[in-house]
Amino acid sequence: MTQATDAPWWQDGIIYQIYPRSFQDSTGSGVGDLRGIIQRLDHVKDLGVDAIWISPIYPSPMKDAGYDISDYDGVEPIFGTLEDFEALARATGDRGLKLLLDFVPSHSSDQHPWFQAARSSRDDPKRDWYVWRDPGPDGGPPSNWIAEFGGSAWEWDDATGQYYLHIYMTEQPALNWRNPDLRAEMYDIMRRWFDRGVDGFRVDAVEHLAPDDQCRDNPPNPDWRFEQGPARSLFRKFSSHQPAGFDAVHEMRAVADEYPDRALVGEAYGTLDEVMLYYGKDLKGFHLPFNFYLIEADWDPLAIADYIDTYEAALPEGGWPNWVMGNHDRDRVATRWGPDAARAAAMLLLTLRGTPTIYQGEELGMVNEAVPDHMIQDPWAINNPGTGLGRDPVRIPMPWDDSAGRGFTRGEPWLPLSTVPAARAQEDDPQSMLVLYRHLIWLRRQHAALRLGEYRRLHADAETLAYARGHGDEVLHVAINFTDRKQPLPFGGTPLFSTVPDRDLAEISKLAPHEGLLLRA
């Protein structure tokens, strides 16, 4: 029986990320939509997670897959209508699932009426809702800031004779979070979505809110490597993680706190010290500032063990940890670490202290898929050829069955179809990744020690990682073999579950290759 706790859902539960374009197409357009999500909600419920986070669904010219928003209050027609969203909110609630939306506050589309007004005249009331600057002393851009997709972060506007800031594409002008009217409007937008039944937001790219008002040059990064992309050739000293941005985060939290049981999850890439700042003074920032270490880490037990200890020590008093292993921007786990290691990695994610986030398809063992040149959608890949920075390979549609469109669509899919076994086939295969994820999530639900217990490192070397989770009188041990060879089991105990299919738990004396093992101490 599940061990009940009084912890809020965002501590006690698991978040599942849905990338709507690639989840389920209900119309035959080749692009996923809101009605498609409703059709597949039982898959999410049966997986055992507690909340879904949906990537942007707002009206958009789709220059950057919906992260260029032209109306914060509506639904992009390719995804459906507001009525479809309301049906989705009801369907998630009926299944006991929480619903989080992506909120993109750092920039809008250049087609948003706000920006159209702002660029019409220097005197327009919306002008200061965006970041405009005169040319630098040399007549060029005001600073050396580099856009995330490459090139200058400043774009010249002939009509009004100034540059505007864009942290991403030129079609994504940066909003000015120093303007009180802009902030007030964004908070009202949050309230309107809360009133529609949203349980929280994943707040996108918050490190870029309110960059340095003097637009000082960023210093060079002497350790920069080509494959990091051009934006990382500079340290973001003045363009990211600025004090006024943290003020905005506190104000967002105040809006969320106007409603019961709401949560804010923040996306901010930076150093560990920078990420910790997003918990906010007196924990009045984000409930969960995303912890991205595992999304970029090598499959190295010592390095991972050391980071876990460092992360736990860095948390502010009362701050709740979280772990992310994959998302719509980073390589698939099975591609980065290999399909065998991906099974052990699932145990790692689901037994560490903190709220886990699972990206759609990880429970199926999805991998990066090759995308032909004529199907490339991602501006990162288009603007930075040869860097391997394209994100399309991790946004491949979900494989639901073995029909022509793999159950995702009856039309032409917007990206190539996945090559991994379909969800339907995996349901009947006790050795499948889907069955593994379901069982690990079930175990997590059964044991409060796995959801809320303290973490204690027991052992780490070049081959294995072991740790304890304890809550009340219950103590569980986790041991993970990071190699393709048998390894000594660092301690005794009663084995409860192995990631190796058909493992005889009564006969375990060593860890099998790539094995994750859960034991009762």
CB-count exposure of residue 32 (10 Å: 0-12, 13-18, 19+): buried
Alpha-carbon distances of 463 from 240, 304, 456, 486, 520, rounded to whole Å: 37, 12, 18, 10, 22
**Whole-angstrom distance, CA of residue 382 vs CA of residue 506:** 54
Please tell me whether residue 149 adopts helix, strand or coil conformation: coil
Instruction: Answer yes or no: 402 catalytic.
Output: no
List, in order, residues 6 or more apart from 85 with CB less than 8 Å away: 34, 57, 75, 196
Handedness of CA 379, 385, 386, 392 (dihedral sign): positive
Of 68, 102, 171, 204, the catalytic one is 204
Q: Pick from 45, 108, 59: which is nearest to 363 by CA? A: 45
The residues pairing with 455 across neighbouring beta strands, listed in sequence order, are 469
Cα–Cα distance measured from residue 329 to residue 455, given in angstroms and rounded to the nearest whole number: 29
In this structure, the dihedral spanned by the alpha carbons of residues 396, 402, 403 and 406, taken in order and rounded to 10 degrees, is -10
State residue 23 phi and psi, 5-degree precision.
-90, -60
Contact 356, 12 (CB under 8 A): no
From 42, 134, 257, 258, the catalytic residue: 258
Virtual torsion, Cα 442, 444, 449, 452, nearest 10 deg: -130
Task: Name which of 320, 325, 335, 323 is nearest 360 in CA terms.
Answer: 325
The Cα–Cα gap between 106 and 117 comes to 18
d(CA 275, CA 272): 5
For residues 212 and 238, the answer to whether their CB atoms sit within 8 Å is yes
The CA–CA distances, whole Å, from 210 to 105, 147, 462 equal 11, 15, 43
Which stretches of 315-375 are DSSP H helices? Answer: 333-336, 339-351
Taking a C-beta distance cutoff of 8 angstroms, is the pair 17, 327 a contact? yes
**Which helix (H) or strand (E) is 291 found in, with range?**
none
Q: For this structure, is 204 an active site residue? A: yes
Give the active site residues: 204, 258
